[in-house]
């Protein structure tokens, strides 16, 4: 396993903190390598976009 550098760790903490502040439940996932990290980040972005669409749809109904 290659250790993450301090900048990568700081970025991970910032993302986790942002999700916590927004009240979004999340699961911490270890990253195997750079390609895996990019894939997981892409999946996270897609999920956040889905959550935004769900929230917008809920606001339109009220």
Q: What is the pLDDT of residue 60?
A: 82
User: Domain residues of the chain, as ranges?
Assistant: 6-61
pTM: 0.79
d(CA 38, CA 19): 18
Residue 29 near residue 40, CB atoms below 8 Å: yes
Do residues 16 and 26 make contact, with C-beta atoms less than 8 angstroms apart?
Answer: yes
Distance (Å, whole) CA 38 – CA 40: 6
d(CA 30, CA 7): 16
pLDDT at residue 48, as a whole number: 94
What is the chain's pLDDT, residue by residue, as a tens digit (62 residues)?
789 999 999 999 999 999 999 999 999 999 999 999 999 999 999 999 999 999 999 888 76
- Residue 62: what pLDDT? 67
The whole-number pLDDT of residue 46 equals 97
Distance (Å, whole) CA 19 – CA 24? 5
């Amino acid at each position: 396993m290659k250790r993450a550098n301090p900048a990568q760790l700081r970025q991970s903490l910032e993302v986790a903190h942002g999700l916590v502040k927004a009240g979004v439940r999340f699961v911490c996932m270890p990253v195997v390598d750079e390609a895996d990290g990019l894939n997981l980040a892409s999946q996270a972005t897609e999920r956040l976009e889905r959550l935004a669409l769900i929230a917008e749809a809920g606001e339109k109904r009220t």
